[in-house]
Every structure is written in C-alpha cells, then in structure tokens.
Amino acid sequence: MAGPRVEVDGSIMEGGGQILRVSTALSCLLGLPLRVQKIRAGRSTPGLSSGGWKSKIKVLTRPQHLSGLEMIRDLCDGQLEGAEIGSTEITFTPEKIKGGIHTADTKTAGSVCLLMQVSMPCVLFAASPSELHLKGGTNAEMAPQIDYTVMVFKPIVEKFGFIFNCDIKTRGYYPKGGGEVIVRMSPVKQLNPINLTDRGCVTKIYGRAFVAGVLPFKVAKDMAAAAVRCIRKEIRDLYVNIQPVQEPKDQAFGNGNGIIIIAETSTGCLFAGSSLGKRGVNADKVGIEAAEMLLANLRHGGTVDEYLQDQLIVFMALANGVSRIKTGPVTLHTQTAIHFAEQIAKAKFIVKKSEEEEDAAKDTYIIECQGIGMTNPNL
C-alpha cells in the first residue's frame, strides 16, 4: 500500500497543529508514509504541545495534537513514531481506513472540533460507517466552538455530497474539558465539487448566548443584549434573535459562558461571530466581540467567513472536479492548508482577486481548486 515517504517541514507558514492535521489526514487518505520535522519550531513551546491552536497557554496533561495523531493512526491501523509531548518529529505509515467505533480523548479542554476536522475526511473514505466518540473541550479557546461546527460548518461541508450526524452529549469548557460529542457518518464513493460564489443578501441573524455551571443566567442575557445592540447600529432592518441559554447541569461539565451569532443569506451562505467569556471579562464585552466579528465577516463580500475557509480546503482537494469559493482576505491557515494539499495530494489551487464589480472596493478573493477526484477503494 505504501508509496514513497512524503517529507513535510512543520515549521513553515502556520507552523503549528494545523500542519499536523492536514498532512496526517492526507497521508492517511492517500496511503502515503509521512515524516513531519521541525514541529512547531516557530512557537513559544516547540514540539508537540498540549495547547492546540496558536495557544501560548501551557495546557494540562495530554495534548490534542497527540490525540488527533493517535486517532488517525487508529482509524487506519497505521504506525506512528515520535508522537510524544515535546517531540519535534513524527513519522506515520498509514494502512487501510476502517469504519466502526473510534474514540479520541484529549484528556483536557483540547478541542473536539479539531479532532473532528482531522478525522472527518478520512472516515468518508473508510470501508464502512463510522462512529467517532470525541472527548475534550466543546467550547474552547483558539478553536471552532461545537456550535459553529453544527450551525455553519455542517450545512456547508455537506454540499460536497455527504451527511453526518453530530450528537453533543456533554459540553466541556476550558480548563477542565470533559465534553463529549458523537459523530456518525457513512462513507462515500467520491466527493462532489462545490461552487460558493454567490453571496446573496443577509436574510436572518440568530444565535445563542450560553452560561454553564455556576454562572448566573443574567450573564447570558447581558451577552445577548449587548450583541443585539451592536448589530443594530449597522443592520437596522432585520430582527436579531439571540437566545440566552442555561446549559442543563447534566449536559455540561464545569463552568463557562459564550455566544455565537449566525447570519444567513438568501443563497444559503452562513457567517458567524463568536466569543467565549473569561474570568474578569464582563458579559457585554463578550457579546460585542462576537457581534463585531460577525459584522467584519459580512463586510468583505465573501461567501464564507474567515474560519470556514481553511476547513473546506481538504474537501476541495479531494473532490471530483473544480470547486470555487469566494472569500475575504485569505488567512494563514488557509494558505497553509492549500500548500500541503498541493504538496501531498497534488491538487491544483488558484487564488485570485475577485473581478466582479460589487467586489471592486473590497478585499475579496476566489479560491479555485481542481480536485483529485479521490475514489473510495472500498465501495
């Protein structure tokens, strides 16, 4: 099964966990042995970390990077060497991707959404349906919140021609984690390309502001109200429906608060702004931060927000045909994902300034990809 070993420099571009996620997922899918060197060489703590995304916080015991790598290894019965905390080099030799039940546990508030990101493309090309039990933080700093995954990522990524079910059993917050999500999906023969270039106009704005644990419900109401006020200054003609929510005690582990706000357009595009509360930050500020993030994502004229960009790249690379998405400024995460999708999967990407009149004054781009037409050998 194994082809020639792919050599990846883990210090370039984003230079963190994302390189590991993209390169091991593609290695697993394509059956290519992989070596990643100089892992996180540019970071405050080089080597495999317990932190996760861009994290300067030395998080607790055992890292989400490791749990992500171990999960990919387990999905395909592969061999993984060098996967320990502080390691700056890993080698990975994949075997055949199998379905069934798989568990990954970050043992911390490491993000379950990042675990989902790394495993989802792989299980789409498994031999049988999969059930992924992902444990860690569901609403954690420096990673997508699970609400984003369900409310924005899911409906858009399903345009590639598959569906998945995401069952949030327990929510978990920084620093304890303790959340659990179960993802169920069936394999596909191939992925369809997508064309997301028509943004339409905003038709709905809605969201949820949550508190969990010991935090008073008033915090949720204050976050929601502050966010609504902020959005109204700029968008006056739409009803903004942000529900304050008290997470049920049996469905949340630890204490946390946060907010996510979604804007939906006439063509089905989805944009989000979100923020998590931290000790000593007042509720209004959390609400306003999420609202401002959403408004910024609506200004650039793209069809996806800055967080969805990089999450679509691997799927575009695997799809059978030409995909196009319109974006605002192309993020470093997206540039990194494109670089490794080209290096490892040999997909062809073109990123160019949007030439449409309505985008003339904006920082708007088209990312186009000729996918490799990956075919599931098991189906």
Sheet of 164-172, strands arranged across: 100-105, 130-136, 179-185, 164-172, 252-253
User: Please, what sign has the CA dihedral across residues 319, 322, 326, 327?
Assistant: positive
Q: Is residue 79 annotated as involved in ligand binding?
A: no
List the structure tokens of 347. 């997909």
Q: Is residue 310 annotated as involved in ligand binding?
A: yes
Q: Is residue 311 annotated as involved in ligand binding?
A: yes
Query: Out of 65, 102, 333, 339, which one is annotated catalytic?
Result: 333
Q: Is residue 74 annotated as involved in ligand binding?
A: no
Catalytic annotation present for 133: no
Name the burial class of residue 172, with classes exposed (0-12), middle (13-18) and buried (19+) by CB atoms within 10 angstroms of its CB: buried
Q: Is residue 30 annotated as involved in ligand binding?
A: no
Q: Is residue 147 annotated as involved in ligand binding?
A: no
Residue numbers in the known binding site for ATP are: 117, 307-311
Which residues participate in catalysis according to the annotation?
A: 333
Residue numbers in the known binding site are: 117, 307-311
